[in-house]
Amino acid sequence: MNDIATHEPLDRSPWAGLTRHARLWRACFSLGLVREAQFRANAITTVVLGLIQVGIGLIPILLLYSYTGEVQGWSQADVIVLLGLHGTMTGLLSMLVGRNMWAMSDYVTKGELDLLLIRPVNTQFHITTRWIRPDQAFNVLTGLVVAGVGIARTGTAPSALDIVQATIVFLAGFVLLACAWSALAYLAFWMHSVWTIIMFFQDVMQAGRYPVTFFPVAMRVLFTALVPLAFATTFPAQAVTGGISWWLVAASVVFATVAVVLLRLLWNHAICRYSSASS
């Protein structure tokens, strides 16, 4: 009698693949919650630092608008909305993909990627979502509260259409920034360490606290095309405070789709040239 256990072949249908990856993400999120429960001091520190960051972000805005009522068509309330959306965006990025980008160099140089490549899941998906930080949800909520305060100060409530436009562009901006961050992290396949580059990227992201119209033309192009902060903060804030054209909404979706495709091509190219660090 054969005592060796038999296993059914892996279902490779699209629906089964989506279900399998959804279960994987849920498991990663559950592990993140367990880690936070074990290190509660870290969660408390995140809350305190999040509140401090909100205060630091508000100070220059309050100082600037104490001398004027409007800058480049933006009122103080409008910029507060943008600041809140920036906090929500950075919180989401830190919660869902940030730690994974910092780990990319170790995956490549220490051979940890070898074990990930042989698992029956999409490796790119796994390394992007493996580490989740639920404590960053506080920063996401704080950003939404700040944005809500800004909307209340404008004196006009956004319509349902405005909210839909803002949500679509905001999510597209999240995808664009996540792709840009991932592309920089993938440089680990060619470089020994990408930490300095990622730190520079995070510093540049702080410019998203202000509308792109506050910057010179060259910087506006940079923050729209290369580091798409405009889609992450400026355009969603404009949508929720006054509405934007649908062509811009459609363009954000198209750009996000193209970014995902290009990132996939970059990943495939990087994997083709990858040689195991343990070999």
Residue 278: pLDDT band (50, 70, 90) is: low
The percentage of residues in the chain with a pLDDT greater than 70, rounded to a whole number, is 92
Determine the average pLDDT of the residues in 248-260. 96
- The rounded distance, in Å, linking the Cα atoms of 203 and 196 is 11
Cβ atoms 232, 86 nearer than 8 A: yes
Query: Rg of the Cα trace of the chain?
Result: 21
Residue 1: pLDDT band (50, 70, 90) is: very low
pLDDT value of position 193: 80
Residue 115 clears pLDDT 90, i.e. is over it: no
- The rounded distance, in Å, linking the Cα atoms of 260 and 279 is 31
Structural domain boundaries of the chain?
A: 14-273
Q: Which residue has the higher pLDDT, 10 or 119?
A: 119
Categorise residue 243: left if φ over 0, alpha if ψ from -120 to 50, beta otherwise: left
**Two tokens at 206?**
């702080």
219: closest CA among 68, 55, 72? Answer: 72
- The rounded distance, in Å, linking the Cα atoms of 196 and 194 is 6
pLDDT value of position 37: 72
Residue 23 clears pLDDT 80, i.e. is over it: yes
> What is the three-class DSSP state of 115?
helix
The CA–CA distances, whole Å, from 8 to 56, 75, 256 equal 56, 62, 37
**Two tokens at 132?**
């989740």
Residue 172 clears pLDDT 70, i.e. is over it: yes
pLDDT tens, residue by residue, 70-81? 898 899 999 999
- The rounded distance, in Å, linking the Cα atoms of 157 and 28 is 38
Q: Which residue has the higher pLDDT, 171 or 191?
A: 171
How many Å separate Cα 223 from the centre of its chain?
15
Give the global pTM.
0.88
The percentage of residues in the chain with a pLDDT greater than 90, rounded to a whole number, is 45
Place of tokens 């664009």: 176
Cβ atoms 78, 154 nearer than 8 A: yes
Residue 112 clears pLDDT 60, i.e. is over it: yes
Residue 68: pLDDT band (50, 70, 90) is: confident
pLDDT value of position 7: 54
pLDDT value of position 266: 96
**Two tokens at 64?**
């600037």
- The rounded distance, in Å, linking the Cα atoms of 171 and 232 is 8
- The rounded distance, in Å, linking the Cα atoms of 98 and 202 is 10
Residue 48: pLDDT band (50, 70, 90) is: confident
Element (H, E) at 242: helix 235-242
Element (H, E) at 140: helix 137-154
DSSP assignment of 154-189 equals HTSPPPHHHHHHHHHHHHHHHHHHHHHHHHHHGGGG
- The rounded distance, in Å, linking the Cα atoms of 274 and 266 is 12
Residue 4 clears pLDDT 70, i.e. is over it: no
Q: How many other C-beta atoms are found inside a 10 Å radius of the C-beta of residue 273?
A: 8
pLDDT tens, residue by residue, 240-252? 988 789 999 999 9
Summary mean pLDDT of the chain: 87
- The rounded distance, in Å, linking the Cα atoms of 139 and 230 is 20
- The rounded distance, in Å, linking the Cα atoms of 250 and 252 is 5
**Two tokens at 195?**
């930490």
